[in-house]
Amino acid sequence: MKKNMHVTGDRLWESLMEMAKIGATAKGGSCRLALTDEDKEGRDLFVSWCRDAGCDIKIDKMGNIFAVRAGEDNSLPSVMTGSHLDTQPTGGKYDGVFGVLAGLEVLRTLKDYDVKTKHPVEVAVWTNEEGSRFAPAMVSSGVFAGVFDLEYGHSRADLNGVTMGQELKRIGYDGNEEVGGRDLKAFFEAHIEQGPILEFEEKTIGVVTDANGQRWYEITLTGQEAHAGPTPMARRKDALVGASRIVQEVNRIGFDNEPNACATVGLLECRPNSRNTIPGEVFLTVDFRHPSDESLSRMDGQLREFAEKVAKEQGLEMKFEQIWYSHPVKFNDNCVAAVRKGAEVAGYPHMDIVSGAGHDACYINRVAPTGMIFVPCENGISHNEEEAATPEDLAAGCNVLLHAILDQAGVVEES
């Protein structure tokens, strides 16, 4: 291996800033919702950069992009890295996109140093990781891993009824490659932490050992619309009152299952949403997270019991659906060790850490040995236009990724 091999941090930063111009928001963040015109523009830019780096491009039927750098023996399973380019409506510059462009920077670095790997190396862009436009999250990596079938993935619809399948065709990313069924030697995902632990502990690298499980719910409460003036309080079937009680209970459940629980109502729609009409229907979402299956099951039972009680007491009809369950994840020991070794070789202070968020790596872990690399983000803020990370920390994470990939892909030594 070339001595003192390292990525070009300035080039990585410039690529991040160039990508951030696509869907740039007023407060310095990014809005590239999955399969929008902005997402297409970001994908097109990534593909052009990868072709300039000498890679072949493959696109599967879920729109997942794979930039492939040939190895000495292309019959060997690939070592893959990657993440996503889609964002939250008011997202930051680094969530997901750092993992994609860190992979690109690894490919560029291998080209700079004229390094030949034994195994092919690939960079993946997974479609609709965020789940913001199309629920649930991580749909396309889920299809790749066999968690969902292709029909399910294509049928996911946004709030306007437009499906992923329709939008993949519209933006020209409905590829021909079959989804999944590929032999991978290892998969790595680099990511900002999206939490405050690394910054607080003054560590540059988080060696991710596990990831939280998640349960997502959709609840619709239906009461009766009525005039806000003449309708006595005791005769009302106010769907918003019922929903507000559930929101409070979700928060209580989160605190009750500390220290590792998270519980959130992130979306609430009230109908008819008129100031002098009693709300007749409310739709809300619930997001539970915990690294323990047992605790998630307990939280599930608490929510169901309380929601049924509220519906009965308020005289409401209720539709209660768990739309997604992602089990807690333990990442592959060899991949975790490769990340830890990469941090040690590069001389970065590091610590083991559990991911509080879901990532495409959580699904890929089901079909390939997988590891993750975290770098700090300022004040732990993410899913926010103010999301921030330093060029130095991002370069450090990319260097660790480079070492981890070379550990698994192998290097053809010069004769």
What does the pLDDT profile of the chain (415 residues) look like in tens digits? 566 799 999 999 999 999 999 999 999 999 999 999 999 999 999 999 999 999 999 999 999 999 999 999 999 999 999 999 999 999 999 999 999 999 999 999 999 999 999 999 999 999 999 999 999 999 999 999 999 999 999 999 999 999 999 999 999 999 999 999 999 999 999 999 999 999 999 999 999 999 999 999 999 999 999 999 999 999 999 999 999 999 999 999 999 999 889 999 999 999 999 999 999 999 999 999 998 999 999 999 999 999 999 999 999 999 999 998 988 999 999 999 999 999 999 999 999 999 988 899 999 999 999 999 999 999 999 999 999 999 999 999 999 999 999 999 999 987 5
Same structural domain, 337 and 193: yes
Give the model's pLDDT for residue 2: 63
Select from 326, 341, 357 the last residue of a domain.
326
Q: Cα dihedral angle (309, 315, 316, 322), rounded to 10 degrees?
A: 10
Rounded Cα gap, residues 196 and 191, in angstroms: 14
Q: Which uninterrupted H or E stretch holds 397?
A: helix 391-409
Same structural domain, 53 and 178: yes
Give the model's pLDDT for residue 415: 59
Same structural domain, 283 and 230: yes
Rounded Cα gap, residues 261 and 339, in angstroms: 26
Cα dihedral across residues 204, 342, 183, 104: positive or negative: positive
Rounded Cα gap, residues 140 and 64, in angstroms: 7
Same structural domain, 14 and 67: yes
Rounded Cα gap, residues 178 and 261, in angstroms: 37
Kindly state whether residue 3 falls inside one of the protein's structural domains.
no
Please give the C-alpha separations between residue 193 and each of 137, 174, 382, 397, in angstroms, as whole numbers: 18, 31, 9, 11
Kindly state whether residue 304 falls inside one of the protein's structural domains.
yes
Kindly state whether residue 45 falls inside one of the protein's structural domains.
yes
Same structural domain, 190 and 201: yes
DSSP 235: G
Q: Residue 213, SS3?
A: strand
- Number of separate domains in the chain: 2
Same structural domain, 207 and 239: no
Helix then strand count (H, E) for the chain reads: 12, 16
Please give the C-alpha separations between residue 210 and each of 91, 116, 223, in angstroms, as whole numbers: 24, 32, 42
Select from 276, 292, 326 the last residue of a domain.
326
Same structural domain, 332 and 281: no
Q: Residue 277, SS3?
A: strand
Residues composing the chain: 415
CB atoms under 10 Å from CB of 236, counted, come to: 17
Rounded Cα gap, residues 341 and 344, in angstroms: 5
Burial label for 181, CB within 10 Å (0-12, 13-18, 19+), is exposed
Kindly state whether residue 415 falls inside one of the protein's structural domains.
no
CATH code of the domain covering residue 230:
3.30.70.360
Paired sense of beta strands 350-355 and 205-211, if any: parallel
Same structural domain, 107 and 250: no
Same structural domain, 151 and 42: yes
Phi, psi at residue 251, to the nearest 5°? -65, -40
C-alpha 374, offset from chain centre: 13
Same structural domain, 296 and 184: no
Please give the C-alpha separations between residue 66 and each of 63, 83, 170, 399, in angstroms, as whole numbers: 10, 11, 20, 21
Kindly state whether residue 232 falls inside one of the protein's structural domains.
yes
Paired sense of beta strands 213-222 and 184-192, if any: unpaired
Burial label for 130, CB within 10 Å (0-12, 13-18, 19+), is buried
Which residue from 56, 93, 61, 94 is spatially nearest to 78, judged by alpha carbons?
Answer: 56
Q: Are 187 and 368 in contact (CB under 8 A)?
A: yes
Rounded Cα gap, residues 405 and 182, in angstroms: 18
For residue 414, what are its two tokens?
């010069």
Same structural domain, 150 and 194: yes
Kindly state whether residue 4 falls inside one of the protein's structural domains.
no
Burial label for 384, CB within 10 Å (0-12, 13-18, 19+), is middle
Kindly state whether residue 236 falls inside one of the protein's structural domains.
yes
Select from 326, 354, 381 the last residue of a domain.
326
CATH code of the domain covering residue 111:
3.40.630.10
Q: What range defines the domain where residue 386 resides?
A: 9-212+328-409
Q: Are 128 and 156 in contact (CB under 8 A)?
A: yes
Q: Are 349 and 203 in contact (CB under 8 A)?
A: yes
Kindly state whether residue 106 falls inside one of the protein's structural domains.
yes
Same structural domain, 109 and 155: yes
Longest dimension (CA), the chain: 90
Which residue type does 202 have? E
